[in-house]
Homo-oligomer: A and B are copies of this chain.
Amino acid sequence: MDLSLSDEQRLLGDAASRFIAGRYSFEARRTILQSTEGFSREIWREFADLGWLGLSVPEEFGGLGAGAVETGIVMEALGRALVVEPYLATAVIAVPLIAELGSQQQKAELLPPIVAGKSRLAFAQAEPQARFALDDVATKAVRTSVGWRLEGRKDVVLGAPWADHLLVVARISPTQRDRSGIGVFVVPSSAAGIVRTDYQTLDGGRASNIVFSEAAVPTDALLGGSEHALPAIEKVTDNAIAAMASEAVGCMQVLLETTIAYTKQRIQFGKPLADNQVLRHRMAAMAVKIEEARASALNAVLAADADPLTRARAASSAKVKVGRSGRFVAEQAVQLHGGMGVTEELNVGAYFKRLMAIDIIFGSPEFHLQRHARLSRQQAA
C-alpha cells in the first residue's frame, strides 16, 4: 500500500500547474469564452504537445498508456483553471470508450488523430426521458442492407459543436430498458440525417441537442461490432465521474483560497471579515468538505480498474460526496464574497457554475445516492 505519487506523476502535476498558471488566467479564459468558437484551438494543440490528449491512449497508438491517477492529476489542474476545452469529452470519455470497445482497426484510425490534437469527439448518450439511467436508451439503430440507420434524439451532448465525430449510444435490441442490445456508433458530425442545435452551457462550454433522422452509417461504425456495450459505457462513465471529481476538487480548492484571501483583505465594521469567528469556522468547514471530497475522488480514481461493483460504488460515492461538498463550498464562497460573489465580475461565480455542471453531468448526487443504495443491496444479496 502506497498513496504517494510517483516521480512521473509529480512531474505531470507540476507541468499541469505551470501550464495553468502561465496560459490559462481568468482573463485568458474570458477571451476564449467570448470568441466565436468558444474554445481555443491553440490551447488544444498545446494539450497535444504536453501529451495530455494521449494520456490514457495505449502506447501502441501513440499515447502514454497512463491510468486514472494521471487523468485525475490533469483534471484537478484543469479544474483549478476552469478550462473549457473539451478534455473530458475527448480524452476522458471518447478515448477509453474506443480503447475498451473498438476493433484494432478502429483504434488505429481514431486514436492517433486524437493524440495529435487533430480530432475531437463528443459522447452522445443522454436522452430526454432517461434521467441519467445509462440503460434507458430510446435512440434506435436499425440494421439496413448497407449498415445502420440511426433514429432518435440525444440531449446535451457536451462539446458536440467542436467535435468531428460523435460516439452515439443506440439501441439495437427492441426493448427500451434492456442491459444488452446497446451499441456505440462512431458517426461523423457532418453526416446526413443529423440535425444539431448548438448552445452555450452553464459552465461556459458548448453543447448540442441532436436529432437523428434516417441517419445512415456504415456497418463498421459500430464500435468493435459490439451489441453489448453497456458494461463498457458504465465503466467509462464511472471513470469519467472519478475524473470530474478530481476536477471538482481543483475548483473547490481555488474557491477556498480565494475566499480566505478575500475575507482577510475585506474590511467591514473596522476589521477584516476573516476576524469574524463565524466566517473562520465556515471556512474551516469548507476545508473539511474539501478534504472529504478529495478523499472520495481518490477512492473513485483508485477503483477505476476494480471489479464493476466496487468501481460503481466508488464512482457513485464520489458523485454524492463531491456533489455535496461542491455545493457547500461554492455556496459559501459566494456567500462570503457578498454582493460581488453573485456577479460575473469575479471568478467565484464561474467556479460555482462549473461545480453545478459537474453535479449534473452523468447524474445528480441524489440519483447516485439511490444507485449506491441499490448497489449496496446487490452486494448484500
> Is the C-beta of A276 less than 8 angstroms from some C-beta in chain B?
yes
* B-contact 0/1 string along A259-295, CB 8 Å cutoff: 0000000000000000011100100000000000000
| Residues in B neighbouring A281, C-beta threshold 8 A | 278
Give complex CA distance A276, B278 in Å: 9
| Residues in B neighbouring A278, C-beta threshold 8 A | 277-278, 281
- Chain B: CB-nearest residue to A277: B277
| Residues in B neighbouring A277, C-beta threshold 8 A | 276-278
CB distance from A377 to the nearest CB of B (A): 19
- Per DSSP, chain A at the interface is helix
Give complex CA distance A277, B278 in Å: 6
* B-contact 0/1 string along A32-61, CB 8 Å cutoff: 000000000000000000000000000000
| Residues in B neighbouring A276, C-beta threshold 8 A | 277
* B-contact 0/1 string along A196-240, CB 8 Å cutoff: 000000000000000000000000000000000000000000000
CB distance from A157 to the nearest CB of B (A): 35
CB distance from A347 to the nearest CB of B (A): 28
CB distance from A274 to the nearest CB of B (A): 12
Give complex CA distance A170, B276 in Å: 60
Give complex CA distance A281, B276 in Å: 11
CB distance from A189 to the nearest CB of B (A): 44
- Chain B: CB-nearest residue to A280: B278
CB distance from A282 to the nearest CB of B (A): 9
CB distance from A154 to the nearest CB of B (A): 32
Give complex CA distance A357, B276 in Å: 37
Give complex CA distance A281, B282 in Å: 12
Give complex CA distance A277, B281 in Å: 10
CB distance from A263 to the nearest CB of B (A): 14
* B-contact 0/1 string along A52-91, CB 8 Å cutoff: 0000000000000000000000000000000000000000
CB distance from A373 to the nearest CB of B (A): 15
- Chain B: CB-nearest residue to A279: B277
CB distance from A29 to the nearest CB of B (A): 36
CB distance from A314 to the nearest CB of B (A): 28
Give complex CA distance A281, B280 in Å: 13
- Chain B: CB-nearest residue to A276: B277
CB distance from A119 to the nearest CB of B (A): 49
CB distance from A366 to the nearest CB of B (A): 15
- Chain B: CB-nearest residue to A281: B278
Give complex CA distance A71, B277 in Å: 43
Give complex CA distance A276, B275 in Å: 12
CB distance from A254 to the nearest CB of B (A): 26
- Chain B: CB-nearest residue to A275: B277
Give complex CA distance A276, B277 in Å: 7
Q: Which of A149-193 contact B (CB under 8 A)?
A: none
CB distance from A262 to the nearest CB of B (A): 19
CB distance from A117 to the nearest CB of B (A): 51
Give complex CA distance A276, B281 in Å: 11
Give complex CA distance A276, B276 in Å: 10
Give complex CA distance A278, B285 in Å: 13
Give complex CA distance A277, B276 in Å: 7
CB distance from A48 to the nearest CB of B (A): 50
Give complex CA distance A145, B115 in Å: 90
Among A276, A277, A281, residue most surrounded by chain B Cβ atoms (within 10 Å): A277
CB distance from A364 to the nearest CB of B (A): 19
Residues of A within 8 A of B (CB): 276-278, 281
5 A-B residue contacts at CB 8 Å?
Answer: A276-B277, A277-B277, A277-B278, A278-B278, A278-B281
Closest 5 pairs (CB-CB, A-B): A277-B277, A277-B278, A278-B281, A278-B278, A276-B277
